[in-house]
Amino acid sequence: MNCLACLAAILLWTRCQSKESTKETEAKLPNIVVIYMDDLGYGELSAYGATELQTPNMDRLANEGMKFTNAYASSATCTPSRYALLTGVYPWRNENAKILPGTAPLLIDVDQMTIPKMLKTKGYHTSIVGKWHLGLGDGNVDWNQKVSPGPNEVGFDYSYIMAATQDRVPTVYIENGHVVGLEKDDPILVDYENNFEGEPTGKDNPELLKMMWHHGHNNSIVNGIPRIGFMKGGENAKWIDEDMADEFLGKAQDYIRGRKNESAPFFLVLCFSTTSCTENTAPQIRWSFRNGT
């Protein structure tokens, strides 16, 4: 009788422990990584049926996770689709949600609900790395001071971005509102209407180019590439285009590793400006995600 009573007590205790363990597992929120890419078509990944292109690394991410096979684009262009992703608002309801110029003010109202804001209410730490192109500040930015409002003011705890697009000035990285590598004695000046005296342009100085200008990309030259808009100064802060994919990848990996010993789940939006780098960086993101947390 005593043995039966002990056995019953053990079974009851085990069952309670199992329930508590299940509740604890269910309560633990997953980390979320969104890899956002310009110009990626539905059929360009072999996981989704592409035959001309093979993307085994992206396929592995898809096959080990969840595939969505019925989806609709909010927009076929950059700024509107990003606005829709972060806010959940159909972009054409906002007349300003169009491809923004480099001097555009922040498109998302700081009081507007966003995905990172929503996740923060659930205890998430939030971050964005890569292309932003949703406007910054009030449209009259002093790049030598903290640039605000921006990603941090609409829900991201950490941000490491480029302001607009790779073909526009300023050609610098911005971390939590501050231009990375900026030197006080070499301030940045940006103008989308007029060039600065003595500064070469793609149109007037083709001998300095490694890529010929086209479609208005004929203004200031950075790394031998003519840009949209004019920029002076900030030489130490200027990015190197060929290193951009690795730069953003490295920052994303650093962020994931940095959250390894944190109890709060994280939300990371990784935005590449082109799709060409993604197949090579996918296995490294996967490794960081698996080993960093």
List, by residue number, the catalytic residues.
78, 133
Stated length of the chain: 293
DSSP per position, 110-168: TTS--HHHHHHTTT-EEEEEEE--S--TTS---TTS---SSGGGGT-SEEEEESS-TTB
Please give the order of strands across the beta sheet that includes 178-179: 32-37, 266-272, 125-131, 158-162, 173-175, 178-179
DSSP state, residue 235: G
Question: Which residue, among 18, 65, 19, has the nearest Cα to 45 in the 3D structure?
Answer: 65
- Beta bridge partners of residue 228, listed in sequence order: 168
